[in-house]
A = this chain, B = another copy of it.
Amino acid sequence: MLVSALAAASGVPVPTIKYYLREGLLPPGRATGATRAEYGEEHVRRLRLVRALAEVGGLPIARVKDVLACLDGATPLTTALGAAHDALAGSPAPEAPANGAAAAEALVADAGWRVEAGCTSLAQLGAALAALAGAGFPVDPVALRRYVRAADEVAREEVDAIPGGDTADAVEFVVLGTVLHEPVLLALRRLAQQHHSVHRFGAPPGTC
């Protein structure tokens, strides 16, 4: 399969494929001459994955590369999961507002979760809580505890569902599940909000 065929098979335009090759998101094809390279089915799969991570997951290209690196390397599962979380986080939360971090740690401790002390997700949570408080909309502690419970249930079942056999498969399963299910979860929450809000307040004339 040549580039044009790869482009046709994946739906990604040739210049974009070249761009991904340059950026290291796609391994180069097997060179069969100075101006010819052969691509395989794995390149099609990889391209689809790149597009899913970028479009569904909303990850910037550099983060997609990080996630792919986890899948390719023979990383232990928990490391790969951490890397995926870091990739998802995006902004590294440069300033960690002390009150937010403290609130996040208290919440995690209250939930009984054992997590890495300085990890990105924790910083992210701290930053979000601090920003909410700073904007004048502190999260109701009761709501927060409900969120914790819901997150715990969802995550426990997700982790239970990880296949036990091959490590590489498990890594792929958990990393992609983490990244790609986020928009599904958010969309479902919004739809449920819509349903319950219509149920309680009634629907307005014409809008969604």
Contacts and interface: CB of A to CB of B under 8 A. Distances in A.
A166 interface: no
Nearest to A81: B197
Interface-central residue, A51, A78, A189, A193, by most chain B CB under 10 Å: A193
A194 B114 CA distance: 8
A48 B133 CA distance: 10
Interface stretch (A14-22, A30-38, A61-69, A176-184): A176-184
B182 A186 contact: yes
| Dominant SS among interface residues on chain A | helix
A48 B130 CA distance: 12
A169 to B, nearest CB: 12
What is the count of identical protomers in the complex? 2
A74 interface: no
9 contacts: A51-B135, A55-B131, A85-B208, A115-B198, A116-B194, A116-B207, A128-B187, A148-B188, A182-B186
Given A82-B207, A143-B157, A154-B189, A132 B194 contact: no
Interface in A68-117: 76-79, 81-83, 85-86, 88, 90-91, 107-108, 111, 113-116
A125 B204 contact: no
